[in-house]
Amino acid sequence: MMGPFLWLLSVSLMPGTNVFKFPPPIFPTFIKFDNYAQVWSFIDFPKYIGNTLVITGLGLVLNILLSLSTAYPLAKMRFKGRSLVFGVLVATMIIPSATALVVHYLTISWFGLLGSFFGVVLPSAVSVFNIFLMRQTFLGVPDDIRDSGKVDGASELRIWWRLMVPMVKPGIAVIALLEFMSYWNSFLWPIVVLDDPAKYPLASALTYLNGQFAYNFGWIAAGTILSVLPIIVVFLFTQRYYMEGISGAVKG
């Protein structure tokens, strides 16, 4: 599993080498940071990282809020047709996301959001998997907590926000990590929606670099390593909550 990543790291640290030689250079024979300096000076990394942070931030906020607000009634409230609604939601997971690309584009165009960051975020603002994950997490919270809020006269919204949401923080961390990786690495849909390359996120900008400098694999490798470093850092800080959330969802 680490082999391709180590090969990519070695290529980024060894400018001017044959990257397709056999055996592949899993470990660098010498270390130089020329590729990193050159690709950083050529691509406006701060601008593309800023675009990516805006898209990722909007996506995270919408996904977490919509998943929490949808999963809570499906887990804790009793209403007619609850099982049917949940079954229909889960059934949509069998539909490949690529088949909805045209529909998403037409919808975004009808709303007049082409060329905007909201147009990039809106089609994936809620995920059925996230709803399923949070529903299972809410099911693991004792009903006594909700009943105690009702006894104190709290409204359903207040019970949800002040009592239930703090109890499912590991599940929220799982959603945050998964959606952070998804939005940070998205490249096809932003290219379709955004008409200005200056608004591209980092992954799309690197794909554009790949098209122009297809033979400069050192630059491509260095840019790719720079793009995945934030994901590695975020995972290292959230891996404990990630494991707790996954185990809690499976148990629920």
Residue 249's pLDDT is: 53
Domains and CATH numbers, the chain: 52-195+231-251 (1.10.3720.10)
The pLDDT value recorded for residue 211 is: 54
The pLDDT, as a whole number, for residue 21 is 63
User: What local confidence, expressed as pLDDT, does residue 51 receive?
Assistant: 93
pLDDT score of 215? 61
* Predicted pLDDT at 58: 94
d(CA 214, CA 227): 18
Dihedral sign of CA atoms 232, 236, 237, 243 in order: positive
Tokens in use for 158? 């207040």
How crowded is the C-beta side of 231, counted as CA atoms within 13 Å? 18
pTM for the full predicted model: 0.84
The vertex-220 CA angle with 114 and 216, nearest 5°, equals 120
Which residues, 6 or more positions from 1, have their beta carbon under 8 angstroms from its beta carbon?
none
Distance CA 230, CA 235 (A): 9
Mapped onto helix, strand or coil, the DSSP state of residue 168 is: helix
- Each of the 252 residues of the chain gets a pLDDT tens digit; together they read 777 788 888 888 876 655 666 666 677 777 778 888 888 888 888 899 999 999 999 999 999 999 999 999 999 988 888 899 999 999 988 888 778 888 899 999 999 999 999 999 999 898 999 999 999 899 988 888 888 888 888 888 999 999 999 989 888 988 988 899 899 988 889 999 998 888 999 888 887 666 554 567 778 888 888 888 888 888 887 777 666 666 655 554
Predicted confidence at residue 244, as pLDDT, reads 67
pLDDT at 188 (0 to 100): 87
